[in-house]
Amino acid sequence: MSITTATSSLAGKYLTVALAGESYGIAVLKVREIIRLQKITPVPHMPDFVKGVINLRGRVIPVIDLRLKFGLRAVDTERTCIVVVRLVTVADGSNAMGLIVDCVEEVVNLTAGQIEPTPEFGVSLGASCLLGMAKVNDQVKTLLDIERVVNATILAKAAIGPA
């Protein structure tokens, strides 16, 4: 697959969110809803970035803190919110997962010309959870492969059924 073909397949709408002053894009088709930060029930024996679960209209939804997942310090502000995303797993269909982010920025429509492949970082820093880098108004927005960011093994370890 050529670079042009790869970036054109990434073109589309992305919800941009902020983490530690940086912008990240999540494909709009993966986003179910955006909710306020609420009480999260901890689940024992989970990695630090797995904050626990919430009850969202009768469904138990696991929640992870993207700051902690990316090795940043956790911070809650009045704009901190949860982006509920739809994940597709081979075993059990569609699952929902909450992602704690600093704030939601905007929805952007990206063209293939605005997206570049993820640069090579070397073997010590994996970039497998990145789809590419987008240039929007002199800013770089990192496009996330949300399926890889939220590894399916987390859901299996949490023993949480499909939402």
Question: Domain boundaries in the chain?
Answer: 3-158
* Per-residue pLDDT reduced to its tens digit, 104-133: 999 999 998 898 887 765 543 446 788 889
Q: Which amino acid is at 43?
A: V
Question: What pLDDT shows up at residue 28?
Answer: 96
* Residues 107/16, Cβ–Cβ less than 8 Å: yes
**Between 83 and 92, the higher pLDDT residue:** 83
Q: How far apart are CA 83 and CA 77, in angstroms?
A: 15
Q: How far apart are CA 24 and CA 16, in angstroms?
A: 5
* Per-residue pLDDT reduced to its tens digit, 33-63: 999 999 999 999 889 999 999 999 999 999 9
Q: Which amino acid is at 133?
A: M
Does 160 score more than 80 pLDDT? no
- Measured on CA atoms in the order 1, 141, 77, 86, is the torsion positive or negative? negative
Look-up: residue for tokens 């959870």?
129
List strand residue ranges (DSSP E) for the chain, in order: 12-19, 22-27, 31-36, 50-56, 59-65, 81-89, 93-101, 103-110, 115-116, 130-136, 139-144
CB hemisphere CA count around 97 (13 angstroms): 28
Task: Return the SS3 of 68.
Answer: helix
Q: What is the DSSP letter of 41?
A: B
Strand 12-19: give its sheet, edge to edge: 103-110, 12-19, 22-27, 139-144, 130-136, 115-116
Which CATH number is associated with domain 3-158?
2.40.50.180
